Amino acid sequence: MDAGGPLFVNERRSYRKELKKAAIGILSLMPMMLAIVGLVGIFQAFVNKEMLASLFSGDAVRDTLVGTVAGGIAVGQALISYILGGELLQEGISLYAVAAFILAWVTLGVVQLPLEAEVLGVRFTVLRNVLAFLFTILVAVATVWSIQWLR
Amino acid sequence: MAPVDSPKQRRFHWRGLKTFLAVLVLYGVLALLSPEKTMEAAKVSLGVLEEILPILGVVVFFTAALHYWLDPRKLAKHLGEEGGLKGWGIALTAGILSHGPMYAWYPMIEDLRKHGLRDGYIAAFFYARAVKIPLLPIMIHYFGWAFTVFLSLYIVLGAWVQGILVERIEGRS
């Protein structure tokens, strides 16, 4: 077959068989998946927004680091991070810190690290998360600088 | 590239059983210390589970459909070593369009990786997920137009650079 042809080519495979294989693959991951879901529940029940807000001091540099770490540990829907970020801004926390916080919330995941390492390997997981941590700070700083430049 | 259907891989085994048991023990300890909060945590977890089960269902159907139609040799061309600019475009677009928690996508990514999906594309996919198209109006409401536009642009750019760096670093070692 020509390797330059279309990506999707059905070679008379059984869809039912593929469905079963895919379901078994997901099923085998269920203990790890349930563990992560359990940790998400613990985090959301035991850590409230006042606790998160108390981590910030008002110093932009320190708060950007704190925002990245706090966002990386926090779990939940991205929408919650926007609402929390909006409240932090109103309380006078710097935009650098808030940008890092909402970005780390979605791109980093301390809680899901065991699952990521199990599925994609420890080496890749560490490399990806270290880069994501550094880029979260870079993107947050670049965003605020760009807004300031625009003004 | 690992063989997709090696006998070792076909043998069923639960993955993460120890982690699951550790979390159960943690719930037990927390229930002794703070029963109400622990009950709340269990309820939140059930809610999250209800939320991700349909996504996992979609992942199962999607993975099966990919296996049914996908030609592994072609995948290697589009999303493997020869992927090039088109591959980056697919990875970034897929990241922006994907929904649900990151961990719901791990099984499918693992599967595609066995077929030759590049690690750089995986890193780019995961970071590009920070752009949430349905939530953009809410972000604009809280942080303004300029913030939303610049942040989204830099996320996509950052995702691409991270993907390149992952491949450079992995290649070097």
Q: Hey, is the C-beta of A49 within 8 angstroms of any chain B C-beta? A: no
Note the pLDDT tens digit of each residue in A18-51. 889 889 988 988 998 899 899 989 988 998 878 8
Note the pLDDT tens digit of each residue in A59-78. 888 999 999 999 998 877 78
pLDDT of residue B78: 74
Question: C-alpha distances in angstroms, B103 versus A15, A32, A34, A45, B56?
Answer: 25, 10, 11, 20, 10
Whether B101 is covered by a domain: the verdict is yes
Cβ within 8 Å, pair B16-A150: no
Q: Which token pair is A124?
A: 């890749």
Q: Hey, is the C-beta of A25 within 8 angstroms of any chain B C-beta? A: yes
Q: pLDDT band for position B20 (50/70/90)?
A: very high
Angle at B122 between CA A133 and CA B135, to 5 degrees: 65
Note the pLDDT tens digit of each residue in A92-147. 889 999 999 999 999 998 888 988 999 999 999 999 999 999 999 999 999 999 99
pLDDT of residue A44: 87
Q: What is the mean pLDDT of chain B?
A: 86
Residues B83-88 have a mean pLDDT of 86
pLDDT of residue B52: 84
Chain A: give the shortest CA distance to residue B58, in Å. 11
Whether A6 is covered by a domain: the verdict is no
Q: pLDDT band for position B169 (50/70/90)?
A: very high
pLDDT of residue A1: 41
Which of A5-9, B78-82, B164-168 has the highest average model confidence (pLDDT)? B164-168
| Domain that includes residue B139, residue range | 7-172
- At residue B74, does pLDDT exceed 80? no
> If you compute the radius of gyration of chain A from its CA atoms, what whole number of angstroms results?
20
HEC readout, chain A: CCCCCCCECCCCCCHHHHHHHHHHHHHHCHHHHHHHHHHHHHHHHHCCHHHHHCCCCCCHHHHHHHHHHHHHHCCCCHHHHHHHHHHHHHCCCCHHHHHHHHHHHHHCCCCCHHHHHHHHCHHHHHHHHHHHHHHHHHHHHHHHHHHHHHC
- At residue B4, does pLDDT exceed 60? no
Q: How many domains does chain B fold into?
A: 1
Whether A2 is covered by a domain: the verdict is no
Chain B: give the shortest CA distance to residue A146, in Å. 7
pLDDT of residue A109: 83
CB A32 within 8 A of CB A118: yes
Sequential DSSP letters for B108-122: HHHHHHHTT--HHHH
Whether A134 is covered by a domain: the verdict is yes
Whether B2 is covered by a domain: the verdict is no
Q: What is the mean pLDDT of chain A?
A: 86
Note the pLDDT tens digit of each residue in B46-56. 998 998 888 88
CB B156 within 8 A of CB B96: yes
Whether B1 is covered by a domain: the verdict is no
Q: How many domains does chain A fold into?
A: 1
Cβ within 8 Å, pair B77-A4: yes
Give the rounded distance of the alpha carbon of B65 from its chain centre.
Answer: 18
Cβ within 8 Å, pair B14-A120: no
Residue spans of alpha helices (H) in chain B:
7-10, 17-33, 35-69, 72-79, 84-97, 106-114, 119-128, 136-143, 145-172
Whether B48 is covered by a domain: the verdict is yes
For A135, phi and psi rounded to 5 degrees? -70, -25
| Domain that includes residue A116, residue range | 15-150
Nearest in space to A34 (alpha carbons), one of B59, B54, B58, B53:
B53
Chain A: give the shortest CA distance to residue B76, in Å. 9
A73-87, B23-37, B123-137: least confidently modelled range: A73-87
pLDDT of residue B104: 83
Whether A109 is covered by a domain: the verdict is yes
Whether A86 is covered by a domain: the verdict is yes
Q: pLDDT band for position B5 (50/70/90)?
A: very low
Whether A124 is covered by a domain: the verdict is yes
Whether A24 is covered by a domain: the verdict is yes
pLDDT of residue B71: 67
